[in-house]
Structure 1
Amino acid sequence: MILDVQDIHAFYGKSHILQGVSLTIREGETVTLLGRNGAGKSTTLKSIAGVVAPQRGTVKFKGVEVGTWASHRIAAAGVCFVPEHRGVFRLLSVEENLKLGARRDSPWQLTDIYRIFPRLKERRSNGGGQLSGGEQQMLAIGRALMNHPRLLMLDEPVEGLAPVIVEEIVAQLKQIRQAGIAILLVEQNLEVCTQLADRHIIIEQGRIVYEGDNAAFARDDAIKDRYLGVGVA
Structure 2
Amino acid sequence: MMLEAQNIHGYYGKSHVLQGVTLSVRDGETVTLLGRNGAGKSTTLKSIAGVVTPQQGSVKFKGIEVAKMQPHKIAARGICFVPEHRGIFKLLSVEENLRLGARKQSPWQLTDIYRIFPRLKERRTNGGGQLSGGEQQMLAIGRALMNHPRLLMLDEPVEGLAPVIVEEIVTQLKLIREAGVAILLVEQNLEVCTQLADRHYIIEQGRIVYEASNDVFIADDSVKDRYLGVGVV
* Alpha-carbon displacement from aligned partner over 1:112-136 (angstroms, at most 9, x marks no partner): 0000000000000000000000000
- The CA distance in 2 between the partners of 1:10 and 1:229, in whole Å, is 25
* Contiguous gaps of at least 5 residues in structure 2: none
State the shift of 1:219 in Å.
Answer: 0.5
Question: Where do 1:131-150 residues align within 5 Å?
Answer: 131-150=131-150
How far, CA to CA, are the matches of 2:2 and 2:214 in structure 1?
A: 20
Moved over 4 A (4+): none
Give the corresponding residue for 1:93.
93
Cα drift, residue 63 of structure 1: 0.1
Q: Deviations over 1:39-95 (max 9, x none)?
A: 000000000000000000000000000000000000000000000000000000000
Q: State the SS of the aligned residue for 2:209.
A: strand
Distance 2:62 2:200 in 1: 21
For 1:94 and 1:36, the matched residues in 2 are separated by 33
Structure 1 residue 179 displacement after superposition: 0.2
The equivalent residue for 1:178 is 178
Letter paired with 2:62: K
**Partners of 1:114 and 1:153 in 2: CA distance:** 21
Q: Partners in 1 of 2:231 and 2:195 — Cα distance? A: 20
Report sequence identity in percent.
Answer: 82
Shift in Å, 1:230: 0.9
Give the corresponding residue for 1:63. 63
Other-structure match for 1:26: 26
The alignment status of 1:161 with 2:161, answered yes or no, reads yes
2:122 is aligned to 122
Separation of aligned partners in 2, 1:44 and 1:228 = 17
Distance in structure 2 (CA, Å) of the matches to 1:105 and 1:134: 28
Question: Which residue is 2:82 aligned to?
Answer: 82
Q: Where does residue 210 of structure 1 map in the other structure?
A: 210
Letter aligned with residue 207 of structure 1 = R
Q: How far apart are the structure 1 equivalents of 2:23 and 2:154? A: 16
- Match in the other structure for 1:230: 230
Q: Residue type of the partner of 1:61?
A: F
Distance 1:160 1:230 in 2: 17
How far apart, CA to CA, are the structure 2 residues paired with 1:148 and 1:232? 39
Distance (whole Å) between structure 2 residues aligned to residue 8 and residue 85 of structure 1: 24
> CA separation in 2, counterparts of 1:32 and 1:2?
15
- Write the distance in 1 (CA, Å) between the matches of 2:159 and 2:59: 28
User: Normalization by structure 1: what TM-score?
Assistant: 1.00
Q: Deviations over 1:125-161 (max 9, x none)?
A: 0000000000000000000000000000000000000
Which residue does 2:42 correspond to in 1?
42
Q: How many residues are treated as equivalent by the alignment?
A: 233
Opposite residue 59 of structure 1, the aligned amino acid is: V
Following the alignment from structure 2 to structure 1, what is the Cα–Cα distance between the partners of residues 68 and 191?
35
Q: Secondary structure at the match of 1:149?
A: coil
**Alignment partners' CA distance in 1, 2:186 and 2:153:** 8
Q: Which amino acid in the other structure matches residue 152 of structure 1?
A: L
Amino acid across the alignment from 2:166: V
Q: CA deviation at 1:231?
A: 1.1
Q: Deviations over 1:4-48 (max 9, x none)?
A: 000010000000000000001000000000000000000000000
Letter of the 2:82 partner, please give it: V
SS in 2 for 1:5: strand
SS at match of 2:95: helix
Name 2:14's counterpart in structure 1: 14
What's the RMSD between the two structures over aligned residues?
Answer: 0.4
